Amino acid sequence: MSTVLIIDDNPAVATALEVLFSLRDLHTLRADSPAAGLALLDREPVDVVIQDMNFRADTTSGEEGVTLFRAIRTRFPDLPVILLTAWTQLESAVELVKAGAADYLAKPWDDNKLLTTVQNLLELSEARRELARLRAHEDRRRTELEQRYDLRDAVFADPAMERVIALACQVARADVPVLISGPNGAGKEKIAEIVQANSAVRDGPFVTLNCGALPSELIEAELFGAEIGAYTGASRAREGKFESADGGTLFLDEIGNLSPNGQMKLLRVLETGRFERLGSNRERQVKVRVISATNADLTAMMRAGSFREDLYYRLNTIEIRVPPLAERVDDILPLARHFLAAGKRLSADAREALRRHAWPGNVRELKHALQRAALLAASDEITAADLALSAAPPAPVEELDRGTIEAALARAGGVIAQAATELGLSRQALYRRMEKLSIPRE
């Protein structure tokens, strides 16, 4: 049951309030002086205080009420206080509301308004307590996560990202392929590092390959290695990523960019652990855990016939989705502080601008924004003007990989204009990027 403390030296007023609150099943405590009220607060749990503004018969200044309110505010800063005031004390009451009082009511008060105000404050107090309980639970859970697992110095505060990291830690010990999905720049490689760091092969190599950064004809050589003369310019034998990752983890970023032939060979390695270097007939055997990542819609690519269904299900034993930064608002400021140059600090308007920005480029965009602002700031304090987020350029077309474009084309049914609109490009810009990536126009 909620408790209301009435601090008033007029017995008639206190009794009237007690009767009123009893009709709503509210428990009341009474104190006839500021000292008695503060003593009760020290002893009893109270949800709302209703205090008079005047406790001396020889004055109507309300100074005693002001002193009492400030004492309550200092010792119990989250406790809501309603002021009962005469018209002569109205100005003081308004100033106290500015200082944090929940509300003020002039005598004689309106019963319905007072009950409504108290009920709203009780509901707000309960919501705050529940939020505090949830935050305490989240803090305990995060502390346990940090003590039990190697989080690779990941910076996060948002519950959405905590769930992602907890899942990464949970699946790390299972010797199965993991697919990490999410937009560019969201932190997929960091999640892959966490899986590796908590896996049975954490002491083995951690090898990465960005399949979107190489032409399709070179990706297979990077993955499987090549003998001399296997392709133009292959002047020496080279070890592939699978061989380098033997006994550890291979992280394949932008897996949607893998060519059909590369997809077939990757599927074989996942099924058998065997492969051949380009230009060689000798089979090699490896034990590698594969973690892949994509910002493309692989299911749409499967429907379009550009990604093998059997490979998708081999890679997707466990899928971890990394949400965009816009869905993890509580991560923005901790990440910003992490990226800040030494000696720099964020102004209040800069912090607000960071939280309000949509971050289409995710964590990568945030990092670049802080680096740029640190160079432009005239002092150690970075302001919203230094961040210039509204003027930040969109991600360049060169960052769009084959998988992203093919997925957009698949969703658009091959209609270039529709796919270009979805990607935020002109048709001409999309055509140029498709030509560079050897994506047919049909």
What is the CATH T-level fold of the domain 327-442, as seen in this structure? Answer: Helicase, Ruva Protein; domain 3 (1.10.8)
Between β-strands 289-294 and 178-181, what pairing exists: parallel, antiparallel or unpaired?
Answer: parallel
Integer angstrom CA distances of residue 401 from 101, 190, 232, 259, 439: 56, 20, 24, 13, 11
Tell me the mean pLDDT in the region 71-91: 83
Taking the C-alpha atoms of residue 185 and residue 276, their distance in angstroms, rounded to an integer, is 33
The token duo for 387 is 């961040």
Per-residue pLDDT for 393 more than 60?
no
Give me the long-range contacts of 66-71 (CB less than 8 A, separation at least 24): 66/92, 66/96, 67/34, 68/7, 68/34, 68/37, 68/38, 69/96, 69/99, 69/101, 70/99, 71/34, 71/38
The pLDDT assigned to 88 comes to 56
Confidence (pLDDT) at 392: 40
- Region of 404 (left: φ > 0; alpha: ψ -120 to 50; beta: rest) is alpha
Please tell me the predicted confidence (pLDDT) of residue 57.
57
Instruction: Indicate the pTM of the whole model.
Output: 0.64
Q: Which residue has the higher pLDDT, 426 or 71?
A: 71
Structure tokens, 434: 């498709």
Tokens standing for residue 365: 């965009």
Could you give the percent of the chain with pLDDT greater than 70? 93
Q: What's the confidence (pLDDT) of residue 154?
A: 95
Mean pLDDT of 98-114: 86
- pLDDT given at position 391: 40
Alpha carbon separation from 74 to 8, 118, 440 (Å, rounded) = 20, 21, 70
**Which of 83-87, 99-103, 107-111, 331-335 has the weakest average pLDDT?**
83-87
pLDDT at site 170: 93
Tokens linked to 187: 């932190």
CATH 3.40.50.300 domain extents, the chain: 153-321
Give me the mean pLDDT over the 196-218 stretch: 89
Candidate from 19-23, 135-139, 236-240 with smallest mean pLDDT = 135-139
State the average pLDDT over residues 434-438: 80
In eight-state DSSP terms, residue 152 is T
Q: Topology of 153-321 in CATH?
A: Rossmann fold (3.40.50)
pLDDT tens-digit series, residues 111-127: 998 999 898 888 888 87
- Rounded CA separation 198/151 (Å): 8
Looking at residue 40, its pLDDT comes to 94
Residue 424, phi-psi category: left (phi > 0), alpha (psi -120 to 50), beta (remainder): left
Residue 104's SS3 state is: strand
pLDDT the model gives residue 208: 95
Residue limits of CATH 1.10.8.60 in the chain: 327-442
Which of these ranges, 67-71, 123-127, 214-218, has the smallest mean pLDDT?
A: 214-218
Is residue 225 within 8 Å of residue 182, measured between CB atoms?
Answer: no
Question: Please, what CATH class does the domain formed by 3-126 belong to?
Answer: alpha beta
pLDDT at position 401 is 76
Tell me the pLDDT tens digit for each residue of 131-162: 778 778 778 888 889 999 999 999 999 989 99
Average of per-residue pLDDT across 77-82: 90
Are 381 and 418 a contacting pair, CB within 8 Å? no
Contacts 24+ apart (CB under 8 A), 127-133: 128/78
Show Cβ contacts of residue 48 under 8 Å, excluding neighbours closer than 6 positions: 2, 3, 4, 5, 79, 80, 81, 82, 102, 118, 121, 122, 125
Q: Is the pLDDT of residue 395 over 50?
A: no
Check residue 394 and give its pLDDT: 46
Question: Rounded mean pLDDT of the chain?
Answer: 87
Give the per-residue pLDDT at 247.
95
User: pLDDT at position 56, please?
Assistant: 66
